[in-house]
Amino acid sequence: MREPFANPLQLPESPPGGPGAGLLSGLWKGLASVAGLAWGPAAVLAGREGAERDERLGRVPALSGYGSSSRHGPRVWIHASSVGEAGVAHAVARALWDMAPATEVFVSATTSTGLARAREIFGDRAAGTAFAPLDAPFAVARALSRVRPKVLAMVETEIWPNWLAEARRRGIPTVLVNGRLSGRSISRYLAVRPLFARALSGMSAFSMISTGDAARIARLGAPTGRIFVGGNAKYDDLARPRPGDREGARDLLGLSPGTPAWVAGSTRTGEEEAVLAVHRRLLEALPGAVLILAPRHLRRTDRVQALAGRAGLGVQRLSKIRAQGRDPGRPVILVDTMGELFTLYGAADAAFVGASLAPKGGQNPLEPACWGLPVLFGPHMNDFAEAKAVLTRHGGGETVAQAGELYARVRHFLENPREARETGRRARRAVDSLAGAAEAHARVIANLLY
């Protein structure tokens, strides 16, 4: 396991006292209960019926005993919010199973997309899956009675006071895994620090992503003796391309050998204009070059296509290519389908990661790095600062401050494929250097289980 931020893991023996401690706890519990009760009817009114409605109210699938015919081990409940956290939960669970194969894992998620992703990646290896119950005492109590976990693990920023209070009342250890707390959000949380401190004091462990995250949660009142730093398990969940995957990606897009191509992935408003202007200039030097353009939000696809038309660039949508084949006379491939960006990076020779020229915090630059691509990003990578730093340090990623720099670097890599491949190899080494965080977080859970 990685070095702890402070002291070795120790479990709390009793809740801290002090003037007003009970009042603050009751206040938070009351506020959270009101919010939860308000959410219940809202969920039904929004069309959440049947199994989802029942699970939100705590009627999750009942699980008997500890274990099944195939495992018979202690049960861990891992809660994730959405799609990204579900991937982290899976990476941590895999590491936990490597340490203790008999361990059962029950998975919950807040969003429907997160639950669908959890069911997809866990398959029948999970002891069960469900929508997360409302953070209201009756719903949480009912869910915990049905699942009966030995440890409750919350992923990243999922800190729910009634969950924590009810688990503590039942003697169930609670742990935050892959914990993160951004510098941008800390000021908001500090405004209600006494409430956070009370909730955090009852948690058994905090396995954080970075020393910065560890320091920030300590400022909120987490006991430093229970704080660990394990790295970002999201990187352990990154897919690793297999031999032949790159050829398959190029075949999907109808790209013949030697056709230079680059991806602009997860772009946001204001970035597409710059990317399209860059590609128009590239075509003057490299007439056959192809841009694979993937807006972050599919609802903007029509607008992006209109922008390309105004720039004088022919566009073909990915869905049309699938149905009709690629038209070589259209140099822009517009991605209009969900969940395919990672695969499409494999068709390119270089990549630009969006939400970074625009001040949107960036997107994950390690996905194209997994394919061994040189990775370019703008100056606004606040949400992926660690990944950016690692890529830059290994020489696999570069910051481009504006469209002119983006043009120069993309052109350089497309015209110098040997250098592009070497830079891509360094990018892949950067990804490999980040592996192992899931094991560190899983070890903290295992220390509570055994």
Domain locations in the chain as residue ranges: 21-236+436-449, 245-433
Residues of the chain with pLDDT under 70: 1-49, 64-72
pLDDT attached to residue 72: 67
Query: If you search the block for the tokens 């660990």, which residue do you land on?
Result: 228
Cα torsion at 78, 4, 220, 364 (round to 10°)? -60
Which CATH number among 3.30.450.20, 3.40.50.2000, 3.10.20.30, 3.30.1020.10 corresponds to the domain 245-433? 3.40.50.2000
Residues with Cβ within 8 Å of 323's Cβ and at least 6 positions away in sequence, in order, are none
Of residues 4, 151, 5, 125, the one with CA closest to residue 68? 125
Q: What percent of the chain has pLDDT over 70?
A: 87
Same CATH topology for 21-236+436-449 and 245-433: the answer is: yes
Residue 218: predicted pLDDT: 94
Residue whose structure tokens are 């990317």: 275
> What's the token pair of residue 385?
């600062």
| 32 to 140, 141, 153, 160, 205: CA distances (angstroms) | 12, 14, 19, 8, 22
In this prediction, residue 48 carries a pLDDT of 56
Q: Provide φ and ψ at 352, rounded to 5°.
A: -115, 130
Give the C-alpha separation, 339 to 433, whole Å: 26
Amino acid at 146: R
Note the pLDDT of residue 4.
39
Interval 4-57: pLDDT, tens: 333 333 333 333 333 233 333 344 444 444 444 444 445 433 545 688 999 999
User: Which residues form the catalytic set?
Assistant: 85
Phi and psi at residue 163, in whole multiples of 5°? -60, -50
The per-residue pLDDT for 375 is 98
Residue 168 structure tokens: 């503590």
Residue 427 exposed, middle or buried by CB count within 10 Å (0-12, 13-18, 19+): buried
Assigned CATH for 21-236+436-449: 3.40.50.11720
Tokens standing for 137?
């005492």
pLDDT tens sequence across 41-98: 454 335 456 889 999 999 998 775 544 334 568 999 999 999 889 999 999 999 999 9
Q: Which residues are CB-neighbours of 252 under 8 A, at least 6 positions away?
A: 321, 322, 343, 344, 347
- Return d(Cα 304, Cα 313) in angstroms, integer: 11
